[in-house]
A = this chain, B = another copy of it.
C-alpha cells in the first residue's frame, strides 16, 4: 500500500515487481549502497518469486530518473547506486569496494569559487578513497 501511491504519483504503474523492489530498496532502517548484482541477490533472498534481471535494470533506472535513487561516481566496472538521495559524500573502501556515507557535518561546506559560463552546478560530490 505504502508504495502504490508513490509509484502512481510518479507515473509508474504499481506492478508486483516494482512493489517488491520498493520493499527491498526503501523499507529499511537505513539507506544503503548497491550494485545491480548485489540488489539482484538481495531480491532473491527476500522474495520467493523471481524478477528478471532486465526488470531490475529497468526499475532501477526508472527510480533513478524519478529521483528515488542516485548513482555514485566510483572507478569500478559496476555502477553503484544509493538509496540516500540527499546531498552527501562518501568514503570508498578500495579493499572491498564498499561505500560509507559521510554526514555533511563530517565534511564541512565545499565552496566552488570558479564558474563556467552558461553552466549550472548540478551536484558536488566528494569521494574519499580509503586504503589500509
Contact = CB atoms under 8 A, between A and B. Distances in A.
Interface of A: 71-75, 79, 91, 93-94, 100, 102-103, 105-108, 110-114, 116, 118-132
A73 B75 contact: yes
Q: How many copies does the complex hold?
A: 2
A130 to B, nearest CB: 4
Contacts of A110: 107-108, 110, 126
Given A73-B74, A75-B71, A130-B119, A102 B125 contact: no
Contact of A100 (B75, B116, B130): B116
Contacts of A120: 130-132
A128 to B, nearest CB: 5
